[in-house]
Amino acid sequence: MFEQYLKRWRLTVDGEAFVSLNGNLLPVRQGDTPAMLKIAQSAEERAGNQLMAWWAGEGAAPVLAHDDEALLMVRAQGSASLAQKVAGGRDDEATRILCAVVARLHAPRPASPPVLVPLAQWFEALWGAAAAHGGVLEYSARAARALLAAPRDMVVLHGDMHHGNVLDFGACGWLAIDPKGLCGERGFDYANILCNPDDASALAPGSFARRIAIISDAADLDRHRLLQWVLAWAGLSATWMIEDGLEPGSRLEVARLAAAALDSGVHAASDCRNPGL
């Protein structure tokens, strides 16, 4: 799998290959430069590779070479992580770093972007789940439909912005990896921050309100609309977890927090047709 790229791009192996949700990866070096060779295993990840190249190192890891299937990017060498910052009581700092990276990714570029997936296409799974399960998912679907019907500030989206997808590149700062290649309203890219880096921190007392305040200020986003995006995204994320046979409890709780903050009348999903939702 990797051999043709090792030869073509004159790479030397610099670690053990591994598999992630985003493809097959191999630490390598190109000359003196530590790099990561990634082979995409889905159309979504191939689109993400093209987007990484389009960003050209501005907000995202610099790309050294790429083709339709493979991506060679500079490897993060910094020792810090945003998840560690959160665990160490520096959640506010981590949130501001994520907002700064998102802003860089959303900045206008002179070149046309690669082919992108409309955000509305991603939300299609939510409609059926809301009809089947009711409860807070209905509120998520309602929020998503309203947002998608009247979008604002359309940009190229990362699509999976969270603490594990922004890495420490030392002198180059914090940079993103593993985009999904979407286009849509910029507020969407901030919603997933509220669900991460783990359930405990996302649902810690006071964390939700504090993060909403920080993101609204740092990203210059309307608080009400940001809460709508969080409600919509958390419902979609819960839907995917249900489809995969996973327990969606934390995502549903984030959705409830957003719904309560919007004063929508959702309280502990007491009106759910399915008690689990």
Domain coordinates in residue numbering, the chain: 3-74, 82-261
How do residues 207-261 score in pLDDT, each as one tens digit? 999 999 999 999 999 999 999 999 999 999 999 999 999 999 999 999 999 999 9
How do residues 72-110 score in pLDDT, each as one tens digit? 999 999 999 999 999 999 999 999 999 999 999 999 999
Enter the pTM of the model. 0.93
Q: Which CATH architecture group holds 82-261? A: Alpha-Beta Complex (3.90)
* pLDDT for 55 beyond 90: yes
Q: What is the pLDDT of residue 43?
A: 87
CATH number for 3-74: choose from 3.40.50.10790, 3.40.50.720, 3.30.200.20, 3.40.50.1820.
3.30.200.20
* pLDDT for 266 beyond 80: no
* pLDDT for 270 beyond 50: no
Question: Residue 277 and residue 155: Cα distance in Å, rounded?
Answer: 32
Question: Which residues are annotated as catalytic?
Answer: 160
- Long-range pairs for 55-60: beta carbons < 8 A, 24 or more residues apart: 55/105, 55/109, 57/172, 57/175, 58/104, 58/105, 58/107, 58/109, 59/101, 59/102, 59/103, 59/104, 59/105, 59/107, 59/175, 59/176, 60/105, 60/175, 60/176, 60/177, 60/179
